[in-house]
């Protein structure tokens, strides 16, 4: 670890030899490179803070030093308070001085275990008090209960206007069941330019949340459905809504309100992500049913029915509505279906609005599958070109699954594992039925299954006999020996115009 006390006084550079091309890049290009390298959002921030990276950069040569020292915005984006609060250092003021009048990005972390650089409460409070109006991004993660003793000061931050705050991320630890969590409010009067809000267990009062400038909302703790929908009604510019389960009960409170839940029409909402929804799938789907997003909105939903009675009519209604919305502007070209015991996952991609994905985990797989296939069929997949398939043996024999796969007459590319191909082989080779008639390219995962290569040869030979040979066949094996043996065994297909490629993973 570098000597933090030497930061302010160090002016040494390692070279003034400008024969290296990178040392002679245009200043704008260099600044861009420096800004990418010295970024607190990198996953390495806990080990190699952006502040250290920028410091090292400033010591490479005199030209780089002049550029970095003279760029306040570079220093303003890397205010890691855990570093700035180290005792015995004389460089905190120097770092702040180098930020000039640029808007600040501030990050502070208090963990359950002792981090390399522990956070001091007085350092954080002092920085926020003095520079509050200059902060553009504030990222606070407090997982240490001792640090949160007397949480009220953190909620009281927003009693003052934050005129520059665009991004606010606050994650606190689970509250104590015997200690009420103080609440705080946000409004356009306090945060007039707020664009991104990510909160978990902070006590934010969603019933009074009024942030019309918000574009991105991330929810990481339980919220009343009524309060959330009310808040969404005041976010006309919202583009992304995300929620993830951190404890059972997300979005469930308030579902039994005497009055109907409000609806939220969000013309700019293009992405909705509900991940790891466990034990409250029904209430989460109810939330989605009361939101009207933008045309083409991509939904990413995965939930597990546990300790609740599945409502398949609700699931079908919500899923069909979002699918029709997603495909309204651009038809899907790729579909991925994964049916395994107790779980169904499918993904669509139309290349225009990103990927749509939906997954349910339940013991009632028959109804789950029927709901999903019915919803998929309702939007029409006649233009789908790429199919990724993963089936269990029982699901491969289901009449509704077979009917659905046979309806995909435009599929040109099939991606599957050898086990799925084996399970589904009878359907693909049924007499009098040409399954996937447009199929041209096949990708198969065959790791450590060289002894089952007969499945592949049977499939390809039958397609050739029927007059529907593929153009390309690619198989992935576990090692080069497997790939070489398969290549030798399948070279006979080249005479029929089938290009065989064997690779290793």
Per-10-residue mean pLDDT for the chain, 505 residues long?
Answer: 52 59 86 94 87 90 91 95 75 90 93 68 86 96 65 72 96 74 83 96 90 96 89 97 66 56 96 86 90 95 81 85 89 85 80 83 69 76 88 84 87 93 84 87 93 92 91 95 93 92 92
- Confidence at residue 497, expressed as pLDDT on a 0 to 100 scale: 93
| Per-position DSSP letters for 436-479, written without gaps between them | STT--EEEEE-TT-GGGHHHHHHHHHHHHHHT---SEEEEEESS
Q: Are 69 and 98 in contact (CB under 8 A)?
A: yes
Q: Which candidate, 309, 312, 254, 300, places its Cα nearest to that of 279? A: 309
Q: Which long-range contacts (CB under 8 A, 24 or more apart) does 211-219 make?
A: 211/186, 211/187, 211/235, 212/188, 212/236, 212/237, 213/188, 213/237, 214/238, 215/239, 215/240, 215/268, 216/240, 216/242, 217/241, 217/242, 218/169, 218/242, 218/243, 219/243, 219/244, 219/250
- Confidence at residue 15, expressed as pLDDT on a 0 to 100 scale: 55
- Confidence at residue 367, expressed as pLDDT on a 0 to 100 scale: 67
Q: Are 283 and 314 in contact (CB under 8 A)?
A: no
Q: Dihedrals φ, ψ of 100, to 5°?
A: 60, -125
**Residue tagged 């409460």 (tokens):** 121
- Confidence at residue 247, expressed as pLDDT on a 0 to 100 scale: 44
- Confidence at residue 153, expressed as pLDDT on a 0 to 100 scale: 66
Spatial distance between the Cα atoms of 95 and 74, rounded to a whole number of angstroms: 11
Q: Which candidate, 279, 278, 284, 280, places its Cα nearest to that of 299? A: 284
**Residue tagged 């499939």 (tokens):** 459
Cα–Cα distances (Å) from 334 to 337, 375, 406, in that order, read 10, 16, 16
The DSSP letter of residue 112 is: S
- Confidence at residue 97, expressed as pLDDT on a 0 to 100 scale: 92
**Residue tagged 């969000």 (tokens):** 266
SS3 assignment, position 37: helix
SS3 letters across 143-207: CCHHHHCCCHHHHHHHHCCCCCCCEEEEEECCCCCCCCCCCECCECCCCCCCCEEEEECCCECHH
């Amino acid at each position: 670890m570098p000597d933090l006390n030497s930061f302010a006084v160090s002016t040494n550079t390692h070279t003034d030899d400008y024969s290296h091309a990178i040392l002679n890049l245009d200043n704008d290009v260099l600044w861009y490179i420096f800004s990418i390298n010295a970024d607190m959002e990198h996953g390495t921030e806990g080990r190699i803070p952006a502040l250290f990276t920028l410091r090292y950069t400033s010591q490479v040569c005199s030209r780089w030093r002049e550029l970095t020292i003279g760029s306040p915005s570079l220093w303003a984006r890397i205010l890691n308070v855990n570093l700035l609060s180290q005792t015995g250092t004389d460089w905190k003021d120097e770092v702040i001085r180098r930020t000039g009048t640029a808007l600040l990005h501030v990050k502070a972390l208090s963990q359950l275990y002792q981090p390399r650089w522990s956070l001091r409460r007085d350092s954080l409070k002092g920085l926020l008090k003095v520079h509050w109006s200059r902060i553009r991004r504030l990222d606070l993660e407090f997982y240490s209960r001792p640090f949160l003793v007397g949480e009220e000061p953190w909620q009281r931050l927003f009693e003052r206007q934050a005129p520059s705050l665009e991004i606010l991320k606050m994650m606190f630890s689970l509250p104590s069941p015997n200690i009420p969590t103080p609440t705080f409010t946000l409004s356009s009067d306090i945060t007039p330019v707020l664009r991104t809000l990510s909160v978990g267990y902070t006590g934010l009062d969603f019933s009074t949340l009024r942030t019309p400038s918000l574009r991105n909302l991330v929810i990481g703790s339980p919220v009343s459905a009524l309060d959330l929908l009310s808040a969404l009604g005041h976010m006309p510019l919202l583009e992304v809504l995300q929620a993830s389960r951190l404890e059972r009960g997300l979005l469930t409170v308030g579902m039994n309100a005497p009055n109907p839940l409000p609806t939220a029409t969000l013309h700019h909402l293009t992405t909705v992500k509900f991940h790891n929804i466990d034990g409250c799938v029904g209430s989460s789907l109810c939330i989605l049913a009361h939101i009207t997003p933008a045309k083409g909105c991509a939904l990413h939903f995965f939930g597990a029915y546990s300790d609740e009675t599945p409502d398949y009519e609700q699931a079908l209604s919500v899923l069909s509505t979002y699918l029709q919305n997603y495909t309204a502007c651009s038809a899907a070209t790729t579909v991925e279906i994964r049916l395994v015991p107790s779980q169904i996952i499918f993904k669509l991609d139309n290349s225009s609005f990103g990927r749509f994905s939906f997954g349910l985990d339940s013991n009632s797989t028959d109804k789950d599958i029927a709901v999903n296939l019915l919803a998929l069929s309702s939007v029409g997949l006649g233009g789908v070109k790429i199919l990724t398939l993963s089936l269990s043996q029982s699901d491969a024999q289901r009449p509704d699954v077979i009917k659905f796969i046979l309806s995909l007459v435009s599929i040109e590319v099939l991606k599957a594992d050898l086990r799925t191909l084996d399970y589904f082989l009878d359907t693909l080779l049924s007499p009098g039925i040409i399954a996937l008639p447009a199929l041209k390219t096949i990708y198969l995962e065959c790791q450590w299954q060289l002894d089952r290569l007969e499945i592949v040869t049977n499939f390809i030979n039958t397609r050739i006999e029927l007059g529907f040979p593929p153009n390309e066949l690619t198989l992935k094996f576990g090692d080069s020996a497997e790939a070489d043996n398969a290549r030798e065994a399948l070279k006979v297909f080249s005479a029929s115009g089938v290009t065989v490629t064997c690779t290793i993973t």
